[in-house]
Structure 1
Amino acid sequence: MASQPQSPFARFVHSESFAGLLLVVTAIIAFLWANSPWRETYTTMQHTYLGLSLGTSELKLSIEHWVNDGLMAVFFLLVGLEIKRELLIGELASRRRATLAVAAAAGGMVLPGALYYLLNAGGPGASGWGVPMATDIAFALGVLALLGSRIPLGLKVFLTALAIVDDLGAVLVIALFYTESVNLTFLALAALTWGAALLAGLRGAFSMKVYAVLGAVLWYFVLRSGLHATIAGVLLAFTVPIRKPDPGQYLASLADAARPGRGEVVGARLRDLEDLLERAQSPLHRMEHALHPFVTFAVLPVFALVNAGVAVTAGGVGVVSFGVMLGLLLGKPLGVVGGAWLAVRAGVASLPRRVTWAHMVGAGILSGIGFTMSLFVSNLAFDDADLLTQAKLGVLMASVLAALLGAGWLVLTSRKNSSDSDSAL
């Protein structure tokens, strides 16, 4: 019997689960490398400089900065595309579902940051309050995928929406609080470039080359302006047009392809229909589909390889580590569940179908998997190497514990719920 085709969301969850596994493996390799007898080669790799020249201009950055400022801009471009899609035609387009995700994400950002700051206020690690605020969607959905059908689809949809709102909040935090100084000349050039991209999007520019060129120029100007270069990815994403597909465009061609005829004639009709369906996709959908494998299999693993190599020393775990762990392991679940409960209690939101509050607690615990975004913010928050090491160790330990505790909680509560349902029959 032929297998049933997967829905787009099921395919997305499957790919994200594999992305989570790939991130785990790459992070373990980096961690072992940084704590092996060859640890110096790891540091050398991070700080090897590579340059690009164009005429008399030269841009020279270390591999670490090329990854964190360059490749991660592509990751943030994909994040921006997902945010725009969800806001316009996805889960966040529904007012009640959006309200639930926004309320849960707000609680899941404010409380972890507050707990971290209470522990580090007045100390050298105070600037790291943004580290425990975001959720790593690849890891979190990967854990849910491992639990299989015992987890309702509504919980996976909620966690996806929560992580997307989290990412939007993280972008705003980076732009507003982790920018040291601004070069107004380059900021103006970035604004003009973004305006050109916005105009191209409003006019319905379909070619990906247009956005690639404008995106590269925008990235350079944002980098030189003093804002973090990854902001360019989100800015570009919001210029890419999206539209709902119009079935009327290809119904006639579908009927034509179904007419009887010789094999080669029918084959030609089907190829024409395939080309028409490809053109019917909006630029945003085409760009998102093109970027997703590259980000999954290249950008995020390379980021993990460059950033997860934390050398464990005698003083590696400190108050910054405890602040990050407190925020991710306690602040996240309390904030997420508390924000969602307040929204449902106020009557402006409701839980997804078949999702219980026990499920929501499990999702709150899993949202404490901060890995990618938390490591990224750590690099922005700390110039001091010792504090950065403390933050990264806190992120790694908290993410592992959140994954284990969240999975364990959902296994136990799902088994209990199944037993209760069976006894009620």
Structure 2
Amino acid sequence: MKATQLYKDFFESEKSGGLVLIAFTLISLAIANSAFGNSYLHFWETTFAGHSIEHWINDGLMTIFFLLIGLELEREIYQGELSNIKDALLPIFGAIGGMIIPAAIFLLFNFGTETQSGAGIPMATDIAFALGILSLLGNRVPTSLKIFLTALAVIDDLGAIMIIAIFYTKALFWSNLIIALGIFSFLLVLNRLKVRNLIPYLIGGVFMWYFMLHSGVHATITGVLLAFAIPFGNGGEKSTSYILQHFLHKPVAFIILPIFALANTAIVIGTDFTTIITQNYSIGIALGLIIGKPLGIITILFIAIKLGWCKLPNELSWKSILGVGFLAGIGFTMSIFITLLAFENETIINNAKFIILLASLLAGLIGFISLKLTLSKEVIEEEN
């Protein structure tokens, strides 16, 4: 497994961004539960141009986040971990297990209830948080493990995007959807005609976002579609895709995701803590992220490797894979995002966000401690 310079830039921005996310989340929680709590909550509900500030962030700014995810996914497919099917199968099988088992655990507690629509919540992995925690372990982390976690999280996000598009679209307005897809097709034609100037794609992307927003399909899907319309070329530093991806790293990591965290972790923690954690959806989310993620990743990978469908690289061990499995249980951004689409009841949304934070924190701690012990031992064994 070879890390390109762009991958290194991606990892550096994501790991730093993860630490910033943690800080902004703590700040948001502190303000929401202070004397300024009401004013803080009302601020995000302030209407601007027909939508609340929170809505503009979740449907607007987050489209740029999905654009970056799409560009990274495209690069992984053409040149990275997913370009070689043999190498790609390892994170693909891991991601499949890490999506199916958490969803199954959630449905075990919520099937047939009003909250069963939340099955997608524990399926996603927060790349920034997960890589941020992994980065705390320093140079003892092998590059292959960093790339495995990155590829796993990117595939997880792709799965989450597909889930959002398929299961969280409540009503379709076909005329707007057809126009949006028509614009996408036009951008693909520009790509085929080898138009490398970024401006036509960005202008087209804005119009595509507008019509997608009014189509019933979540507007953030535009980001992923636009990413695959933008010319990749040879993937070099002068390619359109590379330039945009490189430009977006820091704004997404240090502006967009922290703003998302501020707007969506303004959670008032009530005194009925016991009531919150004993709700079926709370149990489903917590067990899905903390147990379902590592269990699903390990189980499906073990089966796939035993059947000879893929193999574990020499630098990786089952213990390190398990540790990464726990880090994959850090849902945060995508889990909160899906929560907003899955539920309409504000109390359930607020409680689910709180459980996501707790479960992600616990999964991150377990993963960090597990990897710290495992990687230290593996380093010692290699030296001997």
- CA contact under 8 A between 2:235 and 2:241: conserved in structure 1? no
Q: Looking at CA atoms only, which structure, 1 or 2, has the larger radius of gyration? A: 1
Q: Deviations over 1:123-169 (max 9, x none)?
A: 22111000000111111111111101222111111001101110110
Partner of 2:266: 309
Gaps of 5+ in 2: none
Q: 1:156 aligns with which of 123, 132, 146?
A: 146
How does 1:143-292 map onto structure 2 within 5 Å?
A: 143-244=133-234, 281-292=238-249
Establish whether residue 382 from structure 1 lines up as the match of residue 343 from structure 2.
Answer: yes
- CA contact under 8 A between 1:320 and 1:394: conserved in structure 2? no
Report how far residue 352 of structure 1 moved. Answer: 2.6
Q: Deviations over 1:90-121 (max 9, x none)?
A: 11001112111110000000000010111112
- CA contact under 8 A between 2:235 and 2:242: conserved in structure 1? no
- CA contact under 8 A between 2:99 and 2:123: conserved in structure 1? yes
Partner of 1:337: 298
Distance 2:157 2:235 in 1: 27
Distance 1:97 1:300 in 2: 30
- CA contact under 8 A between 2:6 and 2:246: conserved in structure 1? no
Per the alignment, in what secondary structure is the counterpart of residue 225 of structure 1?
coil
Distance 1:291 1:84 in 2: 15
Q: 1:115 aligns with which of 105, 116, 125?
A: 105
Q: 2:11 aligns with which of 10, 13, 22?
A: 13
Distance 2:228 2:123 in 1: 23
Per the alignment, in what secondary structure is the counterpart of residue 214 of structure 2?
helix
Q: Structure 2: which amino acid aligns with 1:380?
A: L
Q: 2:322 aligns with which of 361, 367, 378?
A: 361
Runs of 4+ more than 6 Å apart: none
Q: Structure 1: which amino acid aligns with 2:307?
A: A
Per the alignment, in what secondary structure is the counterpart of residue 194 of structure 1?
helix
Q: Give the alignment's TM-score, normalised by structure 2.
A: 0.95
Distance 1:229 1:245 in 2: 27
Report how far residue 353 of structure 1 moved. Answer: 3.4
Distance 1:349 1:405 in 2: 27
Partner of 1:403: 364
Q: Deviations over 1:224-280 (max 9, x none)?
A: 11110001111111111112268xxxxxxxxxxxxxxxxxxxxxxxxxxxxxxx6xx
Q: In structure 2, do the counterparts of structure 1 residues 245 and 184 end up closer, same or farther at CA, with 3 Å as the change threshold?
A: closer
Per the alignment, in what secondary structure is the counterpart of residue 225 of structure 2?
helix
Establish whether residue 69 from structure 1 lines up as the match of residue 67 from structure 2.
Answer: no
Distance 1:201 1:46 in 2: 38
How does 1:49-68 map onto structure 2 within 5 Å?
A: 49-51=47-49, 60-68=50-58
Q: In structure 2, do the counterparts of structure 1 residues 245 and 331 end up closer, same or farther at CA, with 3 Å as the change threshold?
A: closer
- CA contact under 8 A between 1:73 and 1:231: conserved in structure 2? yes
Report how far residue 366 of structure 1 moved. Answer: 0.6
Partner of 2:22: 24
Q: 2:286 aligns with which of 325, 334, 337?
A: 325
Partner of 1:33: 31
Establish whether residue 105 from structure 1 lines up as the match of residue 62 from structure 2.
Answer: no
Identity over aligned pairs, percent: 42
Per the alignment, in what secondary structure is the counterpart of residue 7 of structure 2?
helix
Q: In structure 2, do the counterparts of structure 1 residues 291 and 245 end up closer, same or farther at CA, with 3 Å as the change threshold?
A: closer
Distance 1:304 1:208 in 2: 29
Q: Structure 1: which amino acid aligns with 2:211?
A: F
- CA contact under 8 A between 1:304 and 1:372: conserved in structure 2? yes
Distance 1:334 1:294 in 2: 34
Q: Structure 1: which amino acid aligns with 2:206?
A: A
Q: In structure 2, do the counterparts of structure 1 residues 396 and 216 end up closer, same or farther at CA, with 3 Å as the change threshold?
A: same
Report how far residue 45 of structure 1 moved. Answer: 1.1
Q: Structure 2: which amino acid aligns with 1:96?
A: K
Q: Structure 2: which amino acid aligns with 1:359?
A: S
Q: Structure 2: which amino acid aligns with 1:340?
A: L
Distance 2:116 2:6 in 1: 42
Partner of 2:307: 346
Report how far residue 7 of structure 1 moved. Answer: 4.2
Per the alignment, in what secondary structure is the counterpart of residue 404 of structure 1?
helix
Residue-pair matches, total: 377
Report how far residue 287 of structure 1 moved. Answer: 1.1
Q: Deviations over 1:308-335 (max 9, x none)?
A: 1111122443322221010000000011
Report how far residue 401 of structure 1 moved. Answer: 0.6
Q: Deviations over 1:206-226 (max 9, x none)?
A: 222111110000000000111
Q: In structure 2, do the counterparts of structure 1 residues 123 and 242 end up closer, same or farther at CA, with 3 Å as the change threshold?
A: same
Distance 2:8 2:54 in 1: 34
Per the alignment, in what secondary structure is the counterpart of residue 181 of structure 1?
coil
- CA contact under 8 A between 1:155 and 1:352: conserved in structure 2? no
